[in-house]
Amino acid sequence: MRRAPLFFLATMLEFVLSGLRAGLRGRSFQAVFILGVLMIGIAYLSGFFSPRHPKTVALDVGFSAVRFSLVLLNLFWVQELVAREIDRRVILFSLAYPVSRASFLAGRFLALFLLTILAAVVLGLLLLLAVLLVGGGYVQEFDVSLGAPFWSAIAGFALDAAVVGAFSLCIAALSTVSVLPLALGAAFAVAGKALGATIDYLARGADGDEELVASYDPLVGFVRWLLPDLSRLDWREWAMYQLAPGGDAVFWSVTMAIAYIGVLLAAASLVFARREFS
């Protein structure tokens, strides 16, 4: 009985290591990572369009580039590490040994999360360099914060991408169509990001459109219990304008993300354990 947890961890570690190797060697990773680097280059150039706040503009565009790249990387990693293995029946070799399917999913998600952290750190360093170089010696009236506020924003984007990755992984565990995790994962990322803005817009009265509020407020109120508000993990204003988010807001946002990841992984494990491969 004591060996069961150790065996689970050992097999999960094997799946983590194989997932890391496959994720770093994948062509999609290389393509998306190059895209992220190019987008950070665009962020650097965008700073020259604002003579008064070049660093703020570059940082804003760069943050959007990092978030977009991390989400896209997670979607392609799930596609390569899980969906494609299922589609090609390669997963049968992994599950032929006396290992639990839960350890396979847990290992793959942990590999996904470690790859996300690695990509976030590298892209964050590139963005940091771009912001430091933009604008020459011009000193802004309100300078950007490139210490803890900057890396807090990067961490929020990484956690945001991890939630999207967990959702895509859950879809891959039950889907028989290989491209479905990619398509639904992208839709989930867009919906989760737009949810907060939609809720705030309706709460402010939708510019006086009472009919719009009456029509969509109940629907949005229902959807908010199903989808996480990923916009709450966007803390870029702290680095850009020194507007620190409240401690309670950060705590509940992180708790929401971790809880949602846990629910998605538990659901994926339950579905995957009952799935038959022929």
Exposure string for 208-235, b = 16+ CB within 10 A, e = fewer: eeeeebeebeeebeeeeeeebbbbbbbb
Place of tokens 């360093």: 125
Token pair belonging to 199? 């809720």
pLDDT value of residue 51: 67
pLDDT at position 2 is 46
Tens-place pLDDT, residues 14-48: 778 888 888 888 777 788 888 888 988 888 888 78
CA 222 to chain centre: 23
CA dist., res. 212 & res. 202, Å (int):
8
- Enumerate the domain spans of the chain: 3-273
Say what the pLDDT of residue 28 is. Answer: 75
Query: What is the predicted pLDDT for the residue at 1?
Result: 42
Short-list 100, 95, 127, 72, CA closest to 4: 100
Q: Which pair of tokens denotes residue 270?
A: 């339950």
- 255-267: pLDDT as tens digits: 999 999 999 999 9
Supply 53's token pair.
Answer: 């706040």
Q: What is the pLDDT of residue 140?
A: 66
Residue found under tokens 């943050």: 63
pLDDT value, residue 36: 86
* Alpha-carbon dihedral angle through residues 175, 179, 115, 92, given to the nearest 10 degrees: 50
DSSP 103-126: HHHHHHHHHHHHHHHHHHHHHHHH
> How far is it, in rounded angstroms, from Cα 85 to Cα 91?
5
Q: Which parts of the chain have pLDDT scores under 50?
A: 1-2
Task: Quote the pTM value.
Answer: 0.89
Predicted confidence at residue 117, as pLDDT, reads 94
Residue owning tokens 């509940």: 252
